[in-house]
Amino acid sequence: MQTSGPAPDATKAVFRVLLAVSVCHLINDMVQSLLPSIYPILKNSFRLDFGQIGLLSLTYQVVASLLQPLIGLYTDRRPMPYALAIGMCFTLLGIAILATAPTFGLLLVAAAVVGTGSAIFHPESSRIARIASGGQHGFAQSVFQVGGNTGSAIGPLLAAFIVLPQGQLGVAWFSVAASIGIFILYRVGRWRSHHLSRATASHVHRDIRQTLPRRKIIAAIAVLAALIFSKYFYLASLSSYYTFYLISRFHVSVRSSQLHLFIFLGAAAAGTFFGGPIGDRIGPKYVIWGSILGVLPFTLLLPDANLFWTGVLSAIIGFVIASAFSAILVYAQELMPGRVGLVSGIFFGLAFGMGGIGAAVLGHIADLTSIAFVYRLCSWLPAIGLLTGLLPNLDKPRIAPLVS
């Protein structure tokens, strides 16, 4: 049965919720990107080696990756409208510890606390984005993801102009953004608590499709996990070590290296927005093909490029590869309908885990060899995108309103 669409005022109200979680995703990932952005400062202040730098990333990423599937599964069964605000409170606490930590051990604690905040935030905010999608799941995930990528991009920029002049204590300024995020997410929690039933009946659509055999679902999840490995191991080489690569190879200043990192992350934020809407039109599988395998020629050219072309290639790589995650997430949600929290938790957790493991492994390799060798090694990772051909073609869902 076809029914008329939701009223314009109601549509605007739900879209405001989508924008709210996107803004808070910006805040969350801005704080997340702050940690690798200030690695040169922490390395000098605490006399850290690359292995310890990798351990900081590993601590943050592993805590987030282990908790996210559990939180997603729990909130699938027991909705927690105010979980988002609670997660941002953990982020605020992590900022306070990071700004004042006198030892490397407390830096690890700060990384774990910020990781806990992200673990709570991502599965539930992804669910809210799907609820507010009006059936355009790819578009909603892109709007949600572009907030996070924008936060990841401006984090290094703010670190260059706020933290670098003031040192470690300058991190405390980011507590203002986290406090704003707590207020916004409290309002989102009130919306979900008071209006979720009516919003579900009016705006939220479900996918009605023939469920694939369990064996095919498991195989598809394994392929998606391999693609996540490819994407986030490569991104770990850029997000965690790009500043060191530029400094060691081209002898640029710390501020210049952070500005180059901002350009890369800004391009990734721009690219994020296009993957979801294109996936709504042509299907997420084709977006996955283009975003992972399509970036291979550029990653192979990067290790031999000069400074100018390194900046250009890194921007292209960020733009192209960034669309993959929204497409992978939407594909997985369609693969396992009704498990939005669990699926979001698994794939956000995989993303965090692979990024953390990648940072630690690549840091160790860099200590044994060189940063330049790491970039040459990682340039082949997008070839794993060939596995996309093994993913089953999912029929486009028939959209039906959730009404009795």
Tens of pLDDT, residues 119-156: 898 888 888 887 777 777 778 888 888 888 788 778 87
Distance CA 211, CA 207 (A): 10
Segment 355-377, tens digit of pLDDT: 767 877 888 888 888 888 988 99
400 φ, ψ (degrees, to nearest 5): -135, 135
Segment 65-85, tens digit of pLDDT: 788 888 888 887 787 888 899
Share the mean pLDDT of the chain. 81
Write out the two tokens for 248. 């060691």
Domain topology for 9-392: Growth Hormone; Chain: A; (1.20.1250)
- Identify which has the larger pLDDT, 17 or 239: 17
316 pLDDT above the threshold of 90: yes
314 pLDDT above the threshold of 80: yes
- pLDDT for 1 equals 37
What residues form DSSP beta bridges with 205?
Answer: 401
Segment 332-341, tens digit of pLDDT: 888 887 777 7
- Per-range mean pLDDT, top range of 113-122, 213-222, 293-302: 293-302
400 pLDDT above the threshold of 70: no
343 pLDDT above the threshold of 60: yes
- pLDDT for 384 equals 92
Q: pTM for the full model?
A: 0.69
204 pLDDT above the threshold of 50: no
197 pLDDT above the threshold of 70: no
Alpha helices in 78-173 (DSSP H): 83-100, 104-131, 137-158, 164-166
Distance CA 113, CA 391 (A): 36
In 260-352, where do the E strands start and end? none
